[in-house]
Amino acid sequence: MTPAISLSGIGHAFDGAVALAAVDLTVMRGECMALLGPSGAGKSTLLALMDGRLRGWSGAAEVLNAALSAHQPPRRQMRADTGFIFQDFALVERQSVYQNVMNGRLGRTSHWGSLWGRFNDRDHAVVGAVLRDTGLADLAERRADQLSGGQRQRVAIARCLAQEPKLILADEPVSNLDPAHAEKVLELITGAARKRGIGVVFTSHQPELSQRFADRVVGLRDGRILFDHPAGLVSESDIAGLYHGAIPDPQLRVVS
């Protein structure tokens, strides 16, 4: 297996505040990795970096065999190869479900044709198939701002799949869902990835659920990797340490 992502010595700071420090991480193609960690640990920052949206970081990063630049966005082809599911869905509210999903084709289809509103047969075929897979076929004509939270979530996933990505990155894809829906959505994402043989990295605040769907669980805290285990070998103390361990920030330490 070749790596889908390989990071070495990654560091990043927002206005002097360290968000990532010395992160080394390799994700194989076809592997499903969960990224756990308390709020502010740097999960979203790390995911944005993998998606090529973070600027000004240090270290070396390779995604799908191409080096990422800390100074400019990746090329169109590469952005299309990496699918991202945003925590807040990031849908175009006034557009139909169909067009929102079709937006996932923008990096694949003919550029000038799309500016005239034209998409080719293959684009329509892919969108149709993805809508069926995500159970959205009946909602295709509905406007995005007239959907429930769970339906919007599925549109965000469908748009990502319409990209025909070679890697899926998902930032807290199930944070707003009830337990039954959360399971269904994770099943949808990991199932689609398995079918395509591509890698997945998702962040979550639910250790138990993450272990059930991921092959591997990585704990991130204060921008550093605390543990990196195969799913099922993550111990209670790993989790407890991740969320409740000794707090290095002196301001937050409880005086006893």
Ligand X SMILES: Nc1ncnc2c1ncn2[C@@H]1O[C@H](COP(=O)(O)OP(=O)(O)OP(=O)(O)O)[C@@H](O)[C@H]1O
DSSP for residue 225: E
Burial string for 167-189 (b: 16+ CB within 10 Å, else e) reads bbbbbbbbebbeeeebebbbebb
Task: Print the binding letters for residues 163-182 with other proteins: x by CB under 8 A, - otherwise.
Answer: x-------------------
What is the closest distance, in whole angstroms, from the C-beta atom of residue 44 to ligand X in the complex? 3
Select from ligand X, Mg ion, other proteins, none the partner in contact with residue 42, using the beta carbon and a kind-dependent cut-off of 5 to 8 Å: ligand X
Report the DSSP pairing between strands 167-170 and 199-204: parallel
Q: Give the rounded distance of the alpha carbon of 81 from its chain centre.
A: 13
SS3 assignment for 42-87: CHHHHHHHHCCCCCCCEEEEEECCEECCCCCCCCHHHHHHEEEECC
Q: Which one of residues 107, 199, 207, 219 is an interface residue with other proteins (CB under 8 A)?
A: 107
Joined together, the tokens standing for residue 71 give: 């100074």
| Closer residue to other proteins (CB): 63 or 239 | 63
Binding mask 36-75 for Mg ion (x = CB under 5 A): --------x-------------------------------
- Residue number, 16 or 117, with CB nearest to ligand X: 16
DSSP 186: H
| Residues forming a β-bridge with 6 | 26, 62
76 interacts with other proteins by CB under 8 A: yes
Name which position in 18, 90, 125, 233 contacts other proteins (CB under 8 A): 90
Q: Least distance from C-beta 43 to ligand X, angstroms?
A: 3
Residue showing tokens 């067009």: 99
| Residue 4 binds to ligand X (criterion: CB under 6 A) | no
Residues in 33-62 at the binding interface with ligand X, rule: CB under 6 A: 37, 39-45
113 touches other proteins by CB under 8 A:
no
Determine the Cα–Cα distance for residues 216 and 234; give it in Å rounded to an integer: 9
Site for other proteins, rule CB under 8 A: 51-53, 73, 76-84, 86, 88, 90-95, 99, 103-104, 106-108, 111, 114-115, 159-160, 163
